[in-house]
Amino acid sequence: MTRPEIESAARRLAQANGRAETSISKIYWFPDDTEIRLVEVDEESIKSEDEALHPFYFSPVEGVPYPSGIVLIHPDEEGVKPLPVEWRVDWKQARVLFDRKSGEVA
Amino acid sequence: MDWRTAFLVQARSDYEVAVRLLRTPDVPLCHSLHYLQMTLEKLAKGMRAQPGSLAEPPHTHAGATKLVQMLKHTSPISAEFHRVLGMGAFARRMYLDGLLPTIRAVEQMAPAIAKQGSGVNSEYPWIQSSVPAQIEAPCLYGYSEIPQPKIAKLLQLVEALLRSCKA
């Protein structure tokens, strides 16, 4: 797998999720060479239960041929809540793959 | 065995005990709820561990509500969960939206979380926040927070989660 392949799969997954769920306002991608890493901003989401964000991890499935780690956050947590420690990234590295306000697809 | 597999296996075992207790006459509801709460906690922890990783997942008691909120979404990631539930999109959304408060209530029965809130849990006696002089014992408490008809639906949901959340 290469990063462009992972980015392409991340883009497809983000667009599928964003278009299907009107409560999702934005989806961020955090580039990685081994897995898809997404943070989805969902107004229906409860807030995280502690001081850090924790992804749920999924094995490859049909349509998403790479492992993925996905975090669901409340809009109040966007850009401020510390990202998963195992990702070793900060919000500055985020790339928007879906933005409902600005016409959906980045 | 990795952490993910171990947590998912243990969640399945906790769930089977919860079902046995629910089917056993005269067993106070608190014991079944205790095992259901542990099922949800371990399921969420398992899904927070990367497949094949030996890094221990975060020590949080909550997570199941958020996992269900995520799997409620229409996505390739949730397709297997939706297939196992076997409902149309509208019915599934109504079903899951209707159950989310129950999942949250069970999740918050972990004593560590309950201590910060109402105190209602399935293990230890607590003082009623609305009636400060009243101390409740779980085995005598009625758990009006979890209406009986919701428990059967919750079991169906947990079974679907356990079948679709893969190691």
pLDDT confidence band for A106 (50 / 70 / 90): low
Q: To which H or E segment does residue B126 belong?
A: strand B126-127
β-strand A68-73 against A36-42: which pairing, if any? Answer: parallel
Residues of chain B with pLDDT under 70: 131-132
Domain boundaries, chain A: 3-105
A59 CB near a chain B CB, below 8 Å? yes
The helices-and-strands tally (H runs, E runs) of chain A is 1, 6
Greater pLDDT, B114 or A7: A7
Distance of residue B58 Cα from the nearest chain A Cα, in angstroms? 8
B67 CB near a chain A CB, below 8 Å? yes
Q: Cα(B112)–Cα(B116) distance, rounded to whole angstroms?
A: 7
Average pLDDT over residues A18-27: 93
Complex confidence, ipTM? 0.92
pLDDT confidence band for A33 (50 / 70 / 90): very high
Q: Which of A43-52, A97-106, B81-90, B120-129: highest mean pLDDT?
A: B81-90
Average pLDDT over residues A59-72: 94
Residue of B nearest to A20 (CA): B74
Residue of A nearest to B52 (CA): A59
pLDDT at A37: 98
Radius of gyration of chain B (CA): 16
Q: Which of A49, A50, A70 to mutate to test the interface with B (most CBs of B within 10 A)?
A: A49
Contact B48 A57 (CB under 8 A): yes
Q: Which of A47, A57, A74, A98 to mutate to test the interface with B (most CBs of B within 10 A)?
A: A57
The whole-chain average pLDDT of chain A stands at: 92
Distance of residue B56 Cα from the nearest chain A Cα, in angstroms? 11
pLDDT digits (tens, 9 = 90+) for B2-17: 999 999 999 999 999 9
Is A2 a residue whose pLDDT tops 90?
no
Phi, psi of B82 (to 5 degrees): -65, -40
pLDDT confidence band for A105 (50 / 70 / 90): low
> Topology of A3-105 in CATH?
Beta Polymerase; domain 2 (3.30.460)
pLDDT confidence band for A103 (50 / 70 / 90): low
Contact B63 A54 (CB under 8 A): yes
Residue of A nearest to B108 (CA): A49
